[in-house]
Amino acid sequence: MSQLTHHFVSTFQKNNPGVRVSVSEFKQLIFRGLGGGNDLRERVRVDLHGLNVQYALQIVKSTLSYYSKQLKDRRRSHIHESILVEFVVGLGHHSVNGVPILAPAIERYLDSSTTFKHSTQDGIVSVKI
């Protein structure tokens, strides 16, 4: 694992204790919620501040995939619930010219998916699963 990747993983896990990050044999980052199927909560918050778009989108995709699968498995057991996943992206104050970068990129990804309903407000992209 490169020093940059190690720093990213350490920082991410410190800021997001409910998500485990590992590196696959193909050097891809893998994000998983902790606790398996028993870790489902009504609301999950993932802080993406300071990440580049590539890392942020990988985290968004992995997080939504993980919780979607957990809910699907629970629904087979006739447990019907939903989760609100909140991705903290900020308002763009630290971006070039103060223009947000993460929110538009994540919104484009979510708009291309018919699976997830989302909204953005005050630097948070909220997705209901």
Q: Which domains, and CATH codes, for the chain?
A: 38-128 (3.30.1370.110)
pLDDT, position 53 = 92
pLDDT, position 106 = 96
Under 8 Å between Cβ of 17 and 46:
no
What are 78-124's pLDDT values in tens digits?
666 788 889 999 998 888 888 899 999 999 999 998 788 899 999 99
What does the block give as tokens for 101? 């970068």
pTM, full prediction = 0.71
At 36, the pLDDT band (50, 70, 90 cuts) reads very low
Angle 121-36-44 from CA coordinates, rounded to 5°: 10
Under 8 Å between Cβ of 60 and 93:
no
Q: How far is it, in rounded angstroms, from Cα 116 to Cα 68? A: 10
